[in-house]
Chain A
Amino acid sequence: MNFSLTLFNVVVAVIIIVAFVAMNAAYLVWAERRGAGRIQRRPGPNINGPFGLFQPPLDGLKLMAKQLLVPGGADKVLFAAAPVLAMFPAITSFVTIPFSDTLVAHNINVGLLCVFAFAALGSMSILFAGWSSHNKYAMMAAVRAISQSVAYEIPMLITVITVVMISGSLDLREIVRQQSGNIFHWNIFPLLGNSHNLLMPFSFLIFFICSLAETNRAPFDLSEEESVLVAGYHIEYGSMGFGLFFMGEYANIVVGTSLATLLFLGGWACPFGLFPGVWWFLIKVYALIATIIWIRWTFPRSTIYSLLNLSWKILIPLSLVNLLLTAGLLKVF
């Protein structure tokens, strides 16, 4: 009885999560296009439905109506598996991500570890797609994506360790609970609150840059650079295979920003210390997503070597120093 109830709970939760991620992915495309349009002083999609809100389902319909082509010489199994894998890490990550104190599919006390373990699978889908497509552009993109992923996992995890050290827990709920209260109790703000997180804004910056790179977003979207690699790893994908990659990118963004919110911005805590709840979590997540969109439509793309230089020469040393100093501060206070 107890087991079947848990199973029922998990199934319902997974369905909700899939729906949440898919809706998010679809409507973030809309938001990105509208936002890009406004930044470029044009309206963006505004014909289908009010404010163009029917655009994403119609696009999905169009993609689904198209034939799924497998290029000659492609590895059929991996080629089909790659787009599915693109969505998978995002969905599984959400199983352990708490939306509020009570709203979580399945909380485990090493939730943070779990999220990173799944998120690392995302680059596998790019590798599969690039390798199986039998296309040189896709292959180059895959190699880029892997080296980028390797380079940015390191500073990202080192930075996360600082948060874990302060909170003393890998449980995401616990990390947020410690930040409850008003805006100054959040991890990002130094001095007040947890008193020994002087370097947290700095950690947040590193984390944010790394999550941009991890999710292959501009200015680090080298594996889908349209001006050289045409579309990168999903060059050979059409139909819903492409659609899944496209949605996977946005789903990964949601995961990344959710993590940033939980670790640094106080999760579902209200800035004024009032009415904490899931809405505050969502507001913060979407604010971060808006920032990411804003960044994408402002900056040119980085190069692969300056991208790797940024990681190995700047972010990793800085995050190591950050880790050491945080440890020292923890010891002192």
Chain B
Amino acid sequence: MSEPIHLLPDETFVLNVGPQHPATHGVLRIKMRMHGEYVAEAETVLGYIHRMHEKMGELKTYPQFLMNLSRMDYLGALAYCHGHVLVVEKASGIQVPERAEYIRVITVELNRIASHLFGVGSFVMDLGGFSPLMYMLQDREYILDMLEAVTGARLTYCYYRFGGLYNDIDDTFIARARAFIPRCRESLKKYHRLITENIIFRKRLEGNVYLSSEMCRKYGATGGVARASGINFDVRKNEPYSVYPEFNFEVPVFTEGDSMARYKVKMAEIEQSLRIIEQGLDKLPDGPIMPEKAPKIIKPPAGDYYQAVETSKGSFGIRLVSDGSKNPYRLKLRSPSYSNVSLFDEACVGSMIMDAMAFFGSLDLVVPEIDR
């Protein structure tokens, strides 16, 4: 592994990684001061696709902002939408029918699997293995087809409504979801044999950029990054929301703190999400998907409200400051990757550029979510 080296400042050069660089998965720039192959200093530069969602939130009414959330993290969009509808429902005291909550949880977990599959796949692609991504895309495609049949969109969903859902799931969806579970378990086995046990992959990832739990705390890292460093934190368990308390699932925690652990957390989470979907399909109650008296105009009383949800990237928080009007007074979106990537500058110093980029990939970033 890379040893800390004595850095001679006059022998360094600046390497501009990005904004258009294959490893940054979008437009994100890292200014690296290199000492040969070693990273001596890194500075992440954001904002290339900043769209000011928060100002849009202030200018639009509550229902009009629904579709913006899925434009944040387009891979695991439903969890973000979930957070948004939850905070507005909490603020205006809307009761959600149980069936709607169950369907939300099932679709969020399906979307989480899709996001993790793509996250892991593109991570492996960063390491040079292209075929695993293609295999994972096949499973992801199955989920997207399933969600498309229900929500009408493949990535940028606008499915949840304040109080419930846009439309109900049908038997075809349930049958396909049930068929998906054994299929995904089967392919997970394949991925473990193809990737997890592969010697090249293991050699690259084991010990690759260690993150201590203290560092995760200081930077506010959550999600898979924190769980790989031995922090047992999952908003679904620690701060249960929606109907998650009724599900029986585990939070995978690894203590190694390296990229291998971050990868393993994702793979283990796919299994846990499958368990949640299985239970959700079994328990799915009948009933309406919208409350009988859904308010036409959303006007939460003045005050401020906070809701955290666990997305595929970590803890997504949404702070709503309402002044009692049709528009939010302030809508703050706390995106998990923003905190997760902020520790990159410090953590990657002293490692080789290949390791730094592998570490970068293991953070599972989606740039529109960081830039908002």
- The distance in angstroms between the C-alpha atoms of A40 and B129, with both chains bound, is 11
Does chain A have a CB within 8 A of B48? Answer: no
Given contacts A40-B134, A300-B200, A303-B354, A227 and B37 within 8 Å (CB-CB):
no
Q: How far is B129's CA from A221's CA once the two chains are assembled, in angstroms?
A: 12
- Whether, in the assembled complex, B235 has its beta carbon less than 8 Å from a beta carbon of chain A, the answer is no
User: Can you spell out 30 A-B residue pairs with CB atoms less than 8 angstroms apart?
Assistant: A36-B130, A36-B131, A41-B134, A42-B134, A136-B13, A136-B15, A137-B15, A219-B128, A219-B200, A225-B354, A227-B23, A227-B357, A227-B361, A228-B353, A230-B22, A297-B131, A298-B131, A299-B128, A299-B198, A299-B200, A300-B127, A300-B195, A300-B200, A300-B201, A301-B129, A303-B352, A304-B37, A304-B352, A304-B354, A306-B203
In the complex, A212 has a CB within 8 A of chain B: no
CB-CB under 8 A for A227 and B2, given A300-B204, A302-B204, A304-B352: no
Residues on A facing B (Cβ under 8 Å): 36, 39-42, 136-137, 140, 218-219, 221-222, 225-228, 230, 297-306
Chain A residues with CB under 8 A of B181: none
- Is B204 a contact partner of A297 (Cβ separation < 8 A)? no
| With A230-B21, A302-B203: A225-B134 Cβ-Cβ less than 8 Å | no
CB pair B203 A299 closer than 8 Å: no
Q: Which of A222, A300, A306 contacts B129 (CB 8 A)?
A: A300
Q: Judging by beta carbons under 8 Å apart, are A227 and B134 in contact? A: no
Contacts of B204 in A (CB 8 A): 300, 302-303, 306
- Whole-angstrom distance from the CB of A24 to the nearest CB of chain B? 23
Say which residue of A140, A227, A303 sits within 8 Å of B22 (CB atoms).
A227
Which residue from chain A places its CB closest to the CB of B353 in the assembled complex? A228
B residues touching A (Cβ–Cβ < 8 Å)? 2, 13, 15, 21-23, 34, 37, 124-131, 134-135, 138, 194-195, 198, 200-201, 203-204, 352-355, 357, 361
| Residue of chain A at shortest CB distance from B195 | A300
A36–B131 Cα distance when bound, in Å, is 8
New A-B pairs, 9, CB < 8 Å, besides A227-B127, A228-B354: A41-B138, A136-B34, A140-B37, A222-B354, A230-B22, A300-B124, A300-B128, A301-B128, A301-B129
Q: Name, among B2, B129, B135, B354, the residue most crowded by chain A CB atoms within 10 Å (CB to CB).
A: B354
With A41-B138, A303-B204 already in contact, the answer to whether A221 and B128 are too (CB < 8 A) is yes
A137 to B16, CA, bound (A): 9
Q: Using known A-B contacts A227-B126, A230-B22, A300-B204, determine if residue A305 contacts B13 with beta carbons closer than 8 Å.
A: no
Contact residues in B for A222 (Cβ distance below 8 Å): 354
Interface centre among A136, A140, A219, A303 (most CB of B within 10 A): A303
Q: Considering only CB atoms, which chain A residue lies closest to B17 in the complex?
A: A228
**Residue from B2, B135, B198, B357 in contact with A300 in the complex, judged by beta carbons closer than 8 Å:** B198
Given A300-B204, A306-B204; A228-B198 close (CB under 8 Å): no
Contact of A227 among B15, B128, B138, B195 (CB under 8 A): B128
Q: How many CB-defined contacts (below 8 Å) exist between A and B?
A: 77
Nearest chain B residue, comparing its CB with the CB of A218: B128
Which of these, B129, B352, B361, contacts A299 with CB under 8 Å? Answer: B129
* Chain A hits for B138, CB < 8 A: 41
A300 → B minimal CB distance (Å): 4
Chain B residues with CB below 8 A from A301, complex form: 127-129, 200
Give the residues in chain B near A218, CB-CB below 8 Å: 128
| Bound-state Cα–Cα, A107 to B97, Å | 85
CA–CA, A136 and B354, complex, Å: 15
Chain A's nearest CB lies how many Å from the CB of B136? Answer: 11
Chain B residue at smallest Cβ distance from A39: B131
* B125 (CB) vs chain A CBs: closest residue: A227
Question: How far, in Å, is B354 (CB) from chain A's closest CB?
Answer: 5
Contact partners of A302 in chain B: CB under 8 A: 200, 203-204
Q: How far is the CB of B288 from chain A (nearest CB, A)?
A: 42
Name the one of B22, B134, B195, B198 contacting A226, with C-beta atoms under 8 angstroms: B22
Chain B nearest CB, measured from A131 CB (Å): 14
> Cβ of B194: which chain A residues have Cβ within 8 Å of it?
298
A33 CB to nearest B CB, Å: 12
With A227-B125, A299-B198, A300-B128: A305-B352 Cβ-Cβ less than 8 Å: yes
A137 to B, closest residue via Cβ:
B15
- Bound-complex Cα distance A138 to B83 (A): 45
User: For residue A221, which residue of chain B has the nearest CB?
Assistant: B128
Instruction: Kindly state the separation between the CA atoms of A180 and B126 in the bound complex, as whole angstroms.
Output: 45
| Nearest A residue (CB) for B1 | A305
Q: Which residues of A contact B21 (CB under 8 A)?
A: 230
Q: How far does the Cβ of B190 sit from chain A's closest Cβ, in whole Å?
A: 12
CA A140 – CA B200 in complex, angstroms?
Answer: 22
Measured between beta carbons, the chain A residues less than 8 angstroms from B129 are 298-301
Point out the residues of chain A lying under 8 angstroms from B195, CB to CB.
300
In the complex, which residues of chain A have a beta carbon less than 8 angstroms from the beta carbon of B354? Answer: 222, 225, 228, 303-304
Looking at B124, B127, B128, the one whose CB has the most chain A CB atoms below 10 A away is B128
Say whether A297 contacts B125, CB under 8 Å.
no
- Which chain B residues border A137 with CB–CB below 8 Å? 15
A302's nearest neighbour on chain B, judged by CB, is B200
A224: shortest Cβ distance to chain B, in Å? 10
How distant is A37 from chain B, measured CB to nearest CB, in Å?
9
Q: How far is the CA of A300 from the CA of B22 in the complex (A)?
A: 16
Q: Which residue on B lies nearest to A298, using beta carbons?
A: B131
CA distance A306 to B130 in the complex (A): 20
Instruction: Collect the chain A residues with CB atoms within 8 Å of residue B124's CB.
Output: 300
- A305 partner, pick from B2, B15, B23, beta carbons under 8 A: B2
